Structure 1
């Protein structure tokens, strides 16, 4: 049975409450419009998985301190900046069921808000001389941008290898969770080797997290993401890549043609979903996801047993058993 976020959060419940107050403080602005938008962003925050990874990773490596709060805030500020910019790039009006910043205040304001969040994060680190944290998180933001652009470049061809797929998700998704875990370790003064180990742990969790997201595209459940949306958006996911690799030349060509030219037709999307399921793409992706989770667990078990480690393990389980 999967535990709830509240149960997993138990060892850091007090820290998360304090973090929420501190984060509001970090986002404050004297410009009324900006302050209004910041309040809107704070109110619609999701499950807070990223700060949880930071605090639990810090707890595994040493006593949580002020630097940990700043590290978690830095991640949230820079990540929120990328999301606000993403919604402009994708021309998206919704995020997590709420109106996006660009939907309510238009693109020009949304871009400036993203820039403001980025600057707040950078200054928070520079003012407190948290250069180690800044390097970890800035590297992740660079990798996220590179991953997005690599995906756009490859999407035109629709015939990517598993190796390219892993490169894309390692940068696009896994680098952020990896930076959360490395930031937690770094914030409590862990050695370079330990910070690196936590980074590896987070990367493996991040890859498993993305494969779980890929699988939602083929599920019947209501998961907050429309069925077949990745196919409609011509995104090459692991179940589909595997299915195409198993197919004969003719069938492969036929499927790629549907994705390229007919993915706006629900009947055709259903055809691709059926093809992936019949080819064993779902089982294959589930197997790969479990392998990454197991590798992450082994890395985690190199650390001393504690309530933080137990919760971190539960959080990993939660990321692959979540329903949205």
Structure 2
């Protein structure tokens, strides 16, 4: 059995019902909007985020979820989908998960408006049901994602990212949304409990490991997930490159910075940078940090009684670092 099926097994019924509720949450009086949201629903990804919500809730509530759990999962997926639609416009991407992006099929103006609609639906789903505690968790995540993106853009211009700043960027950009999923799951069944913060931390650690794994794909030989060297072409300072810069003598450091700044579209130069990072031990260093985050996340789970839900979350943590795309 595939690992994804094993993770989903304890929440299969909830995920089926969630898909129906999620689709309903996007309903509109505008036929064009309904056509687009139908297209979005039918090209869904792995659905890791709602899975985190349901597994956390069931772990903390003797295997039971409630309507707030479904709303929390729907809100996080609405917000996440909106951010992806907007990202594709900003990045001028024409594909997403192997399908044409919304902006490719319906142009930028419609894509931006669809993203805005999804954001508003997410907010209203919480407000209309009085889920203000859930709304606060989501709103903090949205603020941090925006701050993380802007911090990365600011730092990319000067290429002066330290390891600490890198961790702050990925914490805000990637980890904060997974942290929100887990704290939402906890908050939906155990409001005002210490579990909300515990699982926020757990999700954050998973998200940190997830992003470092993504960074490592950029140095892979078999072009999994995204084309090799794309982060360098986009002047993104990832952990393997930051480590290589820190280890380099002043001459090599100058060459690396010059390569990323001025020769990032030159395929031969990008290959040379990748080779330099590998030779300097950048990949091993990033892998060791990724494993530290993974092990910290597993330690948090170990403090809870063993159950199918805990085991599924442990599988999820391991999947984050073992995945092939």
Instruction: Give TM-score, length-normalised by structure 2.
Output: 0.98
* Alpha-carbon distance in 1 for matches of 2:303, 2:126: 30
Q: Secondary structure at the match of 2:225?
A: coil
1:113 is the counterpart of 2:93: no
Q: Deviations over 1:222-274 (max 9, x none)?
A: 31300010000000000000011000001000011011111111111100000
1:47 is the counterpart of 2:62: no
Gaps of 5+ in 2: none
Equivalent in the alignment of 1:32 = 31
* RMSD across aligned positions (CA): 1.0
Equivalent in the alignment of 1:178 = 179
* Alpha-carbon distance in 2 for matches of 1:208, 1:265: 30
Q: CA deviation at 1:6?
A: 1.2
1:128 is the counterpart of 2:129: yes
Between the two proteins, the alignment pairs up a number of residues equal to 323
Q: Deviations over 1:59-111 (max 9, x none)?
A: 11112111101000000001111111111111111111111111110111111
* Alpha-carbon distance in 2 for matches of 1:52, 1:229: 29
Structure 2 contact 148–169 (Cα < 8 Å) conserved? yes
Q: CA deviation at 1:33?
A: 0.2
User: Please, which moves more after superposition, 221-230 or 70-79?
Assistant: 221-230
Q: Deviations over 1:118-156 (max 9, x none)?
A: 110011001111111111011101100000000000000
* Alpha-carbon distance in 2 for matches of 1:160, 1:50: 29
Q: Secondary structure at the match of 1:9?
A: helix
* Alpha-carbon distance in 2 for matches of 1:151, 1:273: 21
Q: Secondary structure at the match of 1:47?
A: coil
Q: CA deviation at 1:28?
A: 1.1
Q: Secondary structure at the match of 1:192?
A: coil
* Alpha-carbon distance in 1 for matches of 2:277, 2:168: 22
Equivalent in the alignment of 2:166 = 165
* Alpha-carbon distance in 2 for matches of 1:4, 1:302: 23
Structure 1 contact 70–124 (Cα < 8 Å) conserved? yes
Matches within 5 A, 1:1-324: 3-62=2-61, 63-324=64-325
Q: Secondary structure at the match of 2:44?
A: coil
Which consecutive segments of 4 or more residues in structure 1 shift more than 6 A?
Answer: none
Q: Secondary structure at the match of 2:194?
A: helix
* Alpha-carbon distance in 2 for matches of 1:230, 1:201: 27
Q: Deviations over 1:196-244 (max 9, x none)?
A: 0000000000000000000000011231300010000000000000011
Gaps of 5+ in 1: none
Structure 2 contact 75–125 (Cα < 8 Å) conserved? yes
Q: CA deviation at 1:3?
A: 4.6
Q: Secondary structure at the match of 2:158?
A: coil
